[in-house]
Structure 1
Amino acid sequence: MPSGEKVSIVSPMRLLALKVDVDTLRGTRTGVPALVELLRAEQAQATFLFSLGPDHTGRALKRVFRPGFLGKVKRTSVLEHYGLRTLLYGTLLPGPDIGLKTAPILRAVAAAGFEVGIHTWDHTAWQDNLHQRPPAWGRAQLGLACARFKKIFGEAPHVHGAAGWQMTEDALRWLDEQHFKWASDGRGQGPFRPLLGDHPARCLQLPTTLPTLDELIGLEGVDVSTVASKLLALTQEDPPLGHVFTLHAELEGQRLRPVFQELLRGWKTQGYQLVSLAQMASAMEFHPLPSCPMIQGSLPGRSGTLALQGTAR
C-alpha cells in the first residue's frame, strides 16, 4: 500500500507527520477529496485512516452524561461540522456502510500517493465499548476492519490509528500478531515501543503529540481566527523526535479547511517537513526509542479518558 512519496529526511526533529482520521460517511465523501486536493497543492504528505463499517455517529449522543462532553459540543459546533443527517445515523436513521459506499474514494486516496490504513470498523462502537467488552469483541472489530480493507485495496493494512484514542493491551497485541508495522493509537511525547507485559511490541507507536483543533477552540479565549497561531506557537521549538498532528476529515476537510491551510504554510515556514506516518517511522528506524506502557488518562479539551504514553521503563 502506498506509504507516501519519498522525502529526504534531514533531521527527525523537524518532521511533522499528518494523520487524517476519517470518522463518518460525510467526512469520507466531502472532507477526504478536499484534503487530498489541499495536501497536493501544498506539497504535503499525510496518512489517511478510514472508518470502514457502519456510520453510527448518532449513538454518540449518549455521551451527554460524560463530564466535559456537552462543553465540547458547544465549543466546537458539532451540528455545523457534522450535519444533522450524520447526527441521526444509528438512531432515527440507519447507519450507512461507509466502506461499501465510498470504496472508489478510498482507492483514489491511495492512487494519489498517500498512505492509507485503518481507523476503525464502527467508530462509535469502538470509542464507547472497547473497555466494557471482553477482548474478543475488540479483536472481532479489528478483524472486520481488516477484512474490509483487504476487499477495497487488495492487500492487508500495515498502519492503524485507534478511534477516539481508545486502546487496550490486547488490541495492541493483536496488531503485533497481524504484523502491523506502525500505529498511532494514543497521545504522547514521541515515538516508542508499547510494552506488552514485560516485552516491547514490534509495532511502533507514533502517538499524537499536539492538541487537535477541536481541543483548542473555545478554551482560553481561542477561536477559529486564532487557533492556528496558538498551535504554531507550540511547534516553534524543535521537538525531540518530531511531531504528529491529528486532523479530521469532518473538520479540517470542511469548514476548518482554511485554518488547516494556514497551519500547513506556517509549519513549512518553521522548517518542518510534512510527512506521513510511514515516513516518520522510516526516520526512526536507526534511532533508539524508549519502551513505555500505554496508560489511561485525560487531556484538556477532551472528554473522557484515552490512551496515553506512560513513563519509559
Structure 2
Amino acid sequence: MAAIVPDAPLQSRVVDDKSPICIPFILSRLEAYQKTAQAQGGQNKRPFIIGLNGVQGVGKTTLVRALAETLEERQGLATLVVSIDDFYLRHEDQLALAAAHPDNALVQYRGEPGTHDIPLMKTFFSALCSGQPTAVPRYDKAAFSGLGDRLPTSTWTAVNQPDTRPIQVVILEGWCVGFRPLPPAAVETKWKSPYSRTLHKHTLDHLLFINAALAEYAPVTVDLFDAFIHVDAEDTEYVYAWRLQQETQLRAERGTGGAMTDEQVIKFVDAYYPAYELFAEGVRDGILLPGQPRCQLRLVVGRDRSVQVSIVI
C-alpha cells in the first residue's frame, strides 16, 4: 500500500537533504511511542501523529513525501499525510468572514489563522484518533479565480474503512502548524517594534484578532503531536525569494497567464508574513516543552534551502 499523500503542487527543484536527518528522529520517537503502547496492553488505536512546520517554499512537500514513503515502505506503517490547507473555510464562509471584518486585511483571503474550519479539523482528527472511518477533506486553491473553495465530499479520500488498513501514522503539515497564540501584551510589543517588516501595516486589534483565533487551533495543531519537525530559515525573509523562484518557473512553463507577477508575489507573501513575525519565535523555542522533551527537531536552512543546523529540543 502506498502512503496516502496529496498531489504535490509544481515547485522549484529542491534537493532533499532533510529526510536523512528527519527519518532517524521520527523512528526513535515512534519506537518510544510503540513501547508505551505495548506497556499499556497494545489496545490503543490512536495513530502516531507528527506535526511538520515549514516556511513556504522551503521544500516541505519534497520532505513530506520522503517521510511518508519511508514509513510506509520501510516500516510497513499505513501512513497518511494531511495538509492544514485542506481545512480552509469554504468559499462562502470565507466571504462571510471577510464581510464581517471589512477593514481587517488579514482575513480578506485565506491564509492567516482564523481562515480555517476548526470544527471540521477537530471532527476529522477525533475520528482518526479513535480509529473510526473518516475522509480527508480536499481544497481547490484554483477555484473562484484563485480565491479557492472546498471540493465536494465525494472527492475526499476515505480512510479507516472496513476494507483498508487502519491509519497508523499521520503527518500534519503546514506553514502555520505549531503556532501558539501570544499574550496580548506580547503581540503589542512585537507590533511596536521598529524592526518589523509587516506588522506596522496592520492595526493592533487586527493582529489580536488572528492571535485570538489561533487559540482554537492548539487542540489539533500542537496538543496532538507525538513528534514535531520545524524546518526554519536563517532569515524568514528568504520566503520572498523562494516564492519568486517558484513563480518564475511557472511563467517559464505556463506563460505569463499561469503565474503571479513579482509585485503580486510580494503582496501574496505579505499577507502571510505577519504570522511569521508573531509566532515563529514560539515554535523555535519548542512547542512540546516541558512535557515532551526531545520530541521536536528543528532544521535551519540557508538561502539555498540546504540544512545548516539541526537541533533536537
Does the alignment reach a TM-score above 0.5?
Answer: no
Range class of TM-score, shorter chain = under 0.3
Q: Which has the larger radius of gyration?
A: 2
TM-score normalised according to structure 2 size: 0.26
Q: Which structure has more RCO (C-alpha within 8 Å, separation ≥ 6)?
A: 1
TM-score normalised according to structure 1 size: 0.26
